Every structure is written in structure tokens, then in C-alpha cells.
Amino acid sequence: MIRTKILGLGSYVPDRVVTNEELPYLDERHVRQATKQTETDDAWIQKRTGIKERRYVPNDASVATSDLAHEAAKRALADANLQANDLDCIIFATLSPDFHFPGTAVVLQRKLGLAGKNDCACYDIRQQCSGFVYGMQMADAFIRTGMYKRVMLVGAELHSHSLDYTTRGRDVMVLFGDGAGVAIFGPMETDDARAGIVYTSAHADGNGANDLNLKIFEINRLPYLDYDPRDREHNQLMYPHMDGKRVFLNAVRGMVMSTNTALAKTGMSWDDIQWFVPHQANLRINEKVVEVAKIPPEKVLNSIEIYGNTTAATVPLTIDHWRKQGKVKRGDRILSSVFGSGFTWGAAIFTF
């Protein structure tokens, strides 16, 4: 029987570290000012979110989301001992694409040197913080059916350019960071139902669509974009909006539910799983999920303290981070559960 295995994994974060101490002093070009631009502080951010610092790209227009993805993709290819030319499909999960269309997968395809060469299929998916698990479900289906043999799944985000660096936007602004994670999947012949990708689930509830979104424009309007981006009073569509409490409660509910269902449907227990790698939106969300779902605390891996929320990138970034620290090893079984804007959520069990 054909099952799907992870052939390689890589991640990338930009060099600039923005601490909670520095963050309130940044202006909208991320330049540190003498006085606070946003009323927030390290104590509030750490207490409510667990975040200490995050990474930002340079402010000189030299880096786009596809560049973050490209760096992570090169590392994943090296890890898999593959060349870009071996890929026959790219699935790109992001809420911060290089531009509105086409999707960012084709941009990455070109940066990998594949444009016009091997006809590598390109998909962009829009499931925000759930993008990596949704993408893993797609990759698994493509490989099991024989549709594609080498699928690159990308989670990459450039948040720092689209945040509101005023007190108005502080609830969202403090959460997010830039980064990318990439996994490459391929087929293996095995009768072991616990090998490779064991299980994936993907859920959605459109009732949550207004609880966390970034509109930028509304296509039903003429003109569909009618504000001056430099006019801070009237440019609210430019920035993410969030009902934090509703997102928090639904995230805990969705991640607990999908974690427990994943175990029930596979007949597995925490004895069969080495690591729980939840989406990294808020350390307090993850602590609550761990408490309610009775997950052994020593199996939980987080990275939000140092990277913030990198949306579609959090799961591969966290796995790669803890692999570099020597904790996660090839062959370990991981359960991931995720929740994001939409609302969308899901879980996956897979052998790394």
C-alpha cells in the first residue's frame, strides 16, 4: 500500500530580532523612535501571550514572502537530498502572499529555477493558521493516489509589513512574526498503518469569518479600494481585525476536539506519540489545550516565545527548531493541531 512520508524539512527566519522591549517604539517602517508609538509593554505581552520576541524582515523591500519560502525550501531540499527539479507539485500556504494574484507558489517555482522546465504544479491555499495541516492533507491525497510523487508544502508569512503600529492595532500587532517552514513529501510502499502520515483532519466554520480577518479591499465596492494608506484615521481595512476572546475560546475548543478525535480515530494514545506540536498563536491557548485534552506536558513543543505567531509556518518551524535543539528526531511520531482565521482547524498525526 502506498503511504506518504516526510522526505525532508527546513525552516527559515530573518535575522532581525524584535523584542517586546523594542516593539512599542517602532514606527510603521519598523524604525525605533525615542518615544512609544504603541501603548504596550513586555509585561502585558508575556503575561497574555507568552511571547518574548519575534523576527522581522528588513524594511528595505528586499524580502518578500516568497524569499522566506525560498530559503526554507532550499534547506528542505538539502534535508531530503533532492534537487528542485525533482519536485512535481508545490502547495503554498500563506495569508501574506507576495501580491493578490497569481499565487505565491508560482513565484517560488520560478525562484527555485523550475519555471518553464518541469511543469511542476502550483497551488496556493488560504487557510491561514491551519494552512500547514490542510496542506498536509492535500499532499497526502496527491501522493496516495499517485497524482504527484514529490510534493513541497510551504508555510510562509511576512506579517511585519501589514500590522498596525499604533495603540489601535496593539492586540494583533504584538502577536505576529515573519518566518517560513517547508516539508517535502513522497510515497513509500508499506503495510504499516502507523507509518508516515497516519491521519489528517480539516474543519471549517464560516461563522467565524468576521472574527479574524484582513480585508485590504472589498471587491463589491467601486472603487474597491478607496482609502489613502497614509491616512491613519481612514485606513483600517489595511490591517488585521480580531475579536481576540472569540478566537481564543474557539481555538481551544477546536484544537482540543481535533486532538482527541485524531487519537480516537487512529486508536492511538499519548504512549504512541512522542511530541505534541500545536499551532503557535498564544502560549496561553496551548496551555489550556494541554490541560483540557490531558496531554503529557513533557511532550509539548512550543516556539512562540522566540518567533511569535508565524501563522502557516508555525508547525514546521517549531519541529525544525526542536530538531536543531536535539529533541525531535527522525522516526518520532508527532501530533499537530491547528486553528486559524475562517474559522479553520484540524489535526494531523505523522511520523517525522
Residue nearest to ligand UT7 (CB): 244
Window 311-340: contact mask with ligand UT7 (x via CB under 6 A): -----------------------------x
Is residue 248 close enough to count as binding ligand UT7 by CB under 6 A?
Answer: yes
Q: DSSP string of 201-222?
A: EEEE-GGGTTTEE--S--TTSS
92 touches 124 (CB < 8 A): yes
Q: Give the β-pairing of 212-213 and 241-242.
A: antiparallel
**Helix or strand or coil: residue 330?**
coil
Sole window of 118-126, 167-175, 180-188, 286-294 interacting with ligand UT7 (rule: CB under 6 A): 167-175
Q: Which of 120, 122, 309, 321 is catalytic?
A: 309
279 is catalytic: yes
Q: Which of 30, 70, 203, 279 is catalytic?
A: 279
Q: DSSP string of 158-169?
A: --GGGS--SGGG
Q: What is the smallest separation between the CB atom of 260 and ligand UT7, expressed in angstroms?
A: 20
Q: What is the smallest separation between the CB atom of 143 and ligand UT7, expressed in angstroms?
A: 28
Alpha-carbon gap, residue 88 to 96, rounded angstroms: 24
276 touches 300 (CB < 8 A): yes
Q: What residues are paired with 89 via a beta bridge?
A: 121, 151
Q: What is the smallest separation between the CB atom of 76 and ligand UT7, expressed in angstroms?
A: 23
Sole window of 26-34, 105-113, 168-176, 218-226 interacting with ligand UT7 (rule: CB under 6 A): 168-176
Radius of gyration of the chain (CA): 20
Window 261-280: contact mask with ligand UT7 (x via CB under 6 A): --------------------
Helices (H), the chain: 42-49, 65-80, 104-111, 131-144, 170-173, 244-266, 283-292, 304-307, 314-324
For the chain, helix (H) and strand (E) counts, in that order, are: 9, 13
- Using CB under 6 A, pick the residue from 274, 309, 336, 351 that binds ligand UT7: 309
302 is catalytic: no
Is residue 177 close enough to count as binding ligand UT7 by CB under 6 A?
Answer: no
- Using CB under 6 A, pick the residue from 29, 100, 221, 245 that binds ligand UT7: 245
Is residue 307 close enough to count as binding ligand UT7 by CB under 6 A?
Answer: no
Is residue 40 close enough to count as binding ligand UT7 by CB under 6 A?
Answer: yes
Main-chain dihedrals φ then ψ at residue 243, nearest 5 degrees:
-95, 90
Please report, to the nearest 10 degrees, the dihedral formed by the alpha carbons of residues 79, 83, 89, 94 taken in order.
50
- Using CB under 6 A, pick the residue from 170, 288, 321, 323 that binds ligand UT7: 170
Q: What is the smallest separation between the CB atom of 281 and ligand UT7, expressed in angstroms?
A: 3
129 is catalytic: yes
Q: What is the smallest separation between the CB atom of 171 and ligand UT7, expressed in angstroms?
A: 4
Question: Under rule CB under 6 A, which residues in 182-221 are in contact with ligand UT7?
Answer: 212
- Tally of CA atoms within 13 A in the half-sphere of 20 that contains its CB: 20
Q: Give the β-pairing of 212-213 and 179-189.
A: unpaired
- Using CB under 6 A, pick the residue from 57, 129, 312, 328 that binds ligand UT7: 129
Residue type, 30: H
Alpha-carbon gap, residue 105 to 88, rounded angstroms: 12
Instruction: For ligand UT7, give the closer residue by CB, 54 or 170.
Output: 170
Alpha-carbon gap, residue 17 to 38, rounded angstroms: 18
- Using CB under 6 A, pick the residue from 51, 89, 107, 281 that binds ligand UT7: 281
> Which residues are at the interface with ligand UT7 (CB under 6 A)?
40, 44, 48-49, 129, 170-171, 174, 212, 244-245, 247-248, 251, 281-282, 285, 309, 340
Catalytic (active-site) positions: 129, 279, 309
